[in-house]
């Protein structure tokens, strides 16, 4: 079998001892294949009460701790994890399944389908079916938005991002969707000009990776309508996709009313 990047994953049988280095996939595995997780990163916060060995951060895991778990499979991500760590684990004889950074909701769903049906040899769960149904059809554009994900410096969603496609399916057009970079770093003056020039009408502020709040973020854009949304609902793909649409629509609702 091969992972999202086309690399061979030498599993002789369905994975039964798994270390996940990807928080959203940790949740997906825990909810779908009971009792296979033996290790996860410090940032794997869902499901609540997950009792496994912690192996450090996603970007800089403690590889010795990963190996101590004696995994038959490690799950990594091309964007979140370093190629040198993946290479070292493979050199140690560990099978590693690397998922691509999905640019759309359908890409994320197909990636998970391959992982579960091939690496775990299990049928897709009900939450997956619900997620497919919830996100199948985009709605027409209702508003144009700027979507910061970091401050100091400012970083925004650009082209080919999962969060951008989530918003697109909710009728929110990301004005940086055609930028050359996936995560552009515009100046605050450029961002403000997007609103003053009429290119954007709404500021969408998630609470991760940077924790934007009513007091931190909107204050840099006086008079601009904004919506605070769950970063997990916006950027995680897994069981939360089954109900993320309703929660995001609720968070965006009053802000969209203000724009209109």
Domains of the chain: residue spans and CATH: 18-124 (3.40.50.1980), 136-259 (3.40.50.1980)
How large is the C-alpha radius of gyration of the chain? 19
Residues of the chain with pLDDT under 70: 257-260
112 closest CA partner among 71, 75, 151, 149: 75
> Could you tell me which of 149, 122, 135, 154 has the C-alpha nearest to residue 33?
122
pLDDT for 58 equals 86
Q: Give 206-210 contacts, CB < 8 A, sequence gap 24+.
A: 206/147, 206/149, 206/163, 206/230, 206/231, 206/234, 206/235, 207/231, 208/232, 208/235, 209/149, 209/150, 210/148, 210/149, 210/150, 210/151
Q: Dig out the tokens for 128 from the structure.
A: 């997956």
The confidence score (pLDDT) of residue 244 equals 95
DSSP state of 216: B
Whether the Cβ atoms of residue 159 and residue 177 lie closer than 8 Å to each other: yes
Phi, psi of 107 (to 5 degrees): -65, -40
Residue 18 to residue 44: CA distance in whole angstroms: 14
């Amino acid at each position: 079998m091969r992972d999202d990047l086309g690399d061979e994953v030498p599993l002789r049988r369905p994975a039964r001892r798994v270390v996940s280095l990807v928080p959203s996939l940790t949740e997906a595995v825990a909810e779908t294949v009971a009792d296979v997780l033996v290790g996860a990163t410090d940032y794997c916060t869902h499901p609540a009460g997950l009792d496994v060995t912690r192996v450090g951060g996603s970007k800089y895991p403690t590889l010795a701790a990963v190996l101590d778990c004696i995994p038959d499979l490690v799950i990594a991500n091309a964007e979140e994890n370093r190629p040198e760590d993946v290479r070292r684990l493979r050199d140690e004889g560990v099978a590693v399944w690397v998922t691509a950074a999905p640019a759309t909701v359908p890409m994320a769903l197909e990636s998970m389908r391959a992982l579960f049906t091939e690496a775990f040899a299990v049928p897709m769960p009900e939450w997956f079916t619900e997620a497919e149904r919830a996100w199948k059809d985009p709605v027409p554009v209702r508003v144009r938005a700027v979507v910061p994900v970091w401050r100091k410096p400012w970083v925004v969603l650009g082209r080919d991002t999962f969060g951008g496609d989530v918003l697109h399916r909710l009728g929110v057009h990301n004005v940086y969707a055609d930028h050359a970079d996936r995560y552009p770093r515009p100046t605050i003056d450029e961002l403000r000009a997007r609103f003053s020039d009429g290119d954007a009408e709404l500021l969408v502020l998630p609470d991760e990776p940077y924790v934007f709040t009513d007091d931190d973020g909107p204050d840099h854009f006086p008079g601009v309508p904004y919506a605070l949304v769950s970063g997990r609902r916006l950027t995680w793909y897994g069981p939360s996709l089954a109900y993320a649409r309703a929660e995001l629509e609720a968070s965006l609702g009053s802000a969209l009313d203000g724009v209109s």
